Amino acid sequence: MKQLILLFAFSFLFIKCNSSNIKEKNIGLIAQKAMVVSAKIEASQIGAEILKKGGNAYDAMIATHFALAVAYPVAGNIGGGGFMVYRNNDGTKGALDFREKAPITAHKDMYLDGAGNVIKNKSTVGAHAVGVPGSVAGAFEVYEKFGSLPFKELIQPAIDLARNGFKITKKQAASLNKAAAKFKKVNTYKTLFEAEWKEGSLLKQEELAQTLERIRDFGSAGFYEGKTAELFVNYVAQLGGIISREDLQKYTAIWRKPITFKYKDYQITSMTLPASGGICLAQILKSITPYNISEIKHNSTKYIQLLTEASRRSYADRAHFLGDIDFVNVPIDSLTATDYINQRMDNFSWDKATPSSEVSHGKVLGYESDETTHYSIIDQFGNAVSVTTTLNTGYGSKVVVKGAGFILNNEMDDFSSKPGVPNVYGLVGSKANAIAPEKRMLSSMTPTIVEKNGKLKMVLGTPGGSTIITSVLQNILNIAEYDMGMQESVDQPRFHHQWLPDVIRMEPGGFNSETKTELKALGYTLYEKKALVIGKVDAILVLPNGSLEGGADARGDDAAVGF
């Protein structure tokens, strides 16, 4: 029953579905020099303005990030965290981890009752669900290493947007109205998100503007110390949470070595642990390398089957091996070694599905609604950044810090509360992803940069919880194997398999009935629910003549702005 309810809830989050399985070739925005693609036009414009003023991709990243915290409250954030992968114009690459951390007093069994069962909603709703946020530390880390314009100029547009307000879209109105009851239940006061929203309503966020001003004036300390920290810690304590002043003071973002690997002529750079995206992407792409993909019809039975079987095996490994590399020993090299991958695919057969029970063990529950956000930027100097950031599910924990106007994440649910018990994305985990003080929870985020022949080719990423990895995967293949344009690629219907539950999720209307019948005959269980969409990809493709094509996902309000 719980599974059914969660599946039902999941299917209703997304508003727009694909009405046809034939996707006409849409061409995205073409720009000659620079581009920002993000979940909201206001944020893309603010980022692009910074580039026009002579700022670089990192300046634009900071401006876009703060703008999304204002214009896209469902996932844009200062109370959450994320990951950035970058490639500079000289080809150097790197990655920043500004993922949330478990509080110092967190412990392995904090979401279990006396009988050892997971307490419903404790890791997803309210102050207990909150991880120590990393976004503001991440922004300053980026600024110190790569920023070029004065920081004040980067954050000011977001402050103005919060103070003066912006008109919300139809999708935002529906999403806010839907979340109102949860905001009400969680908070001790009436938050400004609880109102009768309509398309075009003005959303002004004065308290958030003041918090952003403290960040502008005092730097990172404007968030992790002083008044903001006091408001944060006091309110969380009032709601029964455990994040302390010390937790905030101790938070640091970490530069990490990204995962890099080759897929045919392409060099792929993606996020490493605590994000699982890069490892899983490498495993899946290596699993399918021996097959001549471009000769398999796009989204055909064989295509879906091959990607499903590769994903099944990779997600099974994810559940068992992956966790915060600072806490657990993860055999990344072995997991991504070609021999190991080939051996994992040994029992793959075109004749029938490999049941997940034969790949590994686990129990299945279901999914819930989710929201994260990704933005891709290429600047006029040729630098590229790929950033995925989140509060976890839509509006995170629904806690809105009283007096400070920002929403806190519910990222603690990305830990494995109990081995084998699924989280909101239906993902199961093991000891590797158990809760420990100051540990980072495992993520599926996959901010990615693709090069071809040593040159920048594509910047991409997406929200979508566990479906992030498979959405990024399918877009890489759309470009590398099917020669699509960026918008055309983003528009394609997507499917997803994650080992457990043992189902292929498919965007409705996107796949023909013959394919579905064939898949069922091979032993696959399909899940295709009205309005289900998988991922919301924002990407940029470098075209052969050097101009840029944006891919802004029409499943949301996403927008590309460039020049």
Chain contacts with ligand DON (rule: CB under 6 A): 370-372, 390, 392, 411, 414, 443-445, 463-465, 468
Amino acid at the residue 406 = F
Q: How far is the CB of 330 from ligand DON (least distance, A)?
A: 16
Q: How far is the CB of 136 from ligand DON (least distance, A)?
A: 18
Task: Give the residue with the Cβ less far from ligand DON, 222 or 556.
Answer: 556
Q: State how far Cα 10 lies from the chain centre.
A: 16
Place of tokens 């008044």: 227
- At how many degrees (to 10) do helices 151-164 and 57-71 cross? 20
Q: How far is the CB of 398 from ligand DON (least distance, A)?
A: 15
Q: How far is the CB of 185 from ligand DON (least distance, A)?
A: 21
Task: Give the residue with the Cβ less far from ligand DON, 306 or 442.
Answer: 442
The pair of structure tokens assigned to 89 is 């114009």
The 10 Å Cβ neighbour count of residue 378 is 31
Q: How far is the CB of 83 from ligand DON (least distance, A)?
A: 9
Beta bridge partners of 378: 35, 384
Phi-psi region of 509 (alpha: psi -120 to 50; beta: other; left: phi over 0): left
Task: Give the residue with the Cβ less far from ligand DON, 211 or 392.
Answer: 392
Q: State how far Cα 511 lies from the chain centre.
A: 25
Round to the nearest angstrom and report the end-to-end CA distance of the chain: 51
Is there a catalytic annotation at residue 373?
no
Task: Give the residue with the Cβ less far from ligand DON, 50 or 435.
Answer: 435
Q: Of 228, 372, 388, 393, which is the active-site residue?
A: 372
If DSSP states are collapsed to H, E and C, what string results for 153-200? HHHHHHHHHHHHCEECCHHHHHHHHHHHHHHHHHCCCCCCCCCCCCCC
DSSP H or E segment with residue 247: helix 245-250
Q: How far is the CB of 532 from ligand DON (least distance, A)?
A: 12
User: Pick from 218, 279, 53, 222: which is nearest to 148 by CA?
Assistant: 53
The DSSP 8-state label assigned to residue 214 in this structure reads H
Task: Give the residue with the Cβ less far from ligand DON, 247 or 414.
Answer: 414
Task: Give the residue with the Cβ less far from ligand DON, 216 or 320.
Answer: 320
Catalytic sites, residue numbers = 372
